[in-house]
Amino acid sequence: MSVTSRARAVTRTGVKVQRRIVIAQALFWPTMILTGAALGTAAVIVVRRRRALPHPDPVPVRPVDTAVG
């Protein structure tokens, strides 16, 4: 293997690695945005479902008559 073919092989490997890094960086922010949107949507759905549940009327608390007399 000559020096030039070795240099080409190293260059090809470097280009492959750089390409993978660029792809990972390009996909990072869209992934973060979509994940945040999905979590926000899930939170809104949970809150709406909890608010829609029927809640029993709370029993009014009556103070205990402790009048001394």
CA distance 20 to 25: 9
The answer on pLDDT for 49 being more than 90 is yes
Q: Quick check: is 2 in a domain? A: no
pLDDT digits (tens, 9 = 90+) for 8-48: 898 999 999 999 999 999 999 999 999 999 999 999 999 99
pLDDT score, position 15: 92
Q: Quick check: is 65 in a domain? A: no
The alpha carbon of residue 10 and the mean position of all alpha carbons in its chain are separated, in whole angstroms, by 38
Q: Quick check: is 42 in a domain? A: yes
The answer on pLDDT for 69 being more than 60 is no
pTM: 0.54
Q: Quick check: is 68 in a domain? A: no
* Number of domains composing the chain: 1
- Domain encompassing residue 27: 7-53
Q: Quick check: is 29 in a domain? A: yes
CA distance 54 to 58: 12
Q: Quick check: is 64 in a domain? A: no
Average pLDDT over residues 44-62: 85
The answer on pLDDT for 6 being more than 90 is no
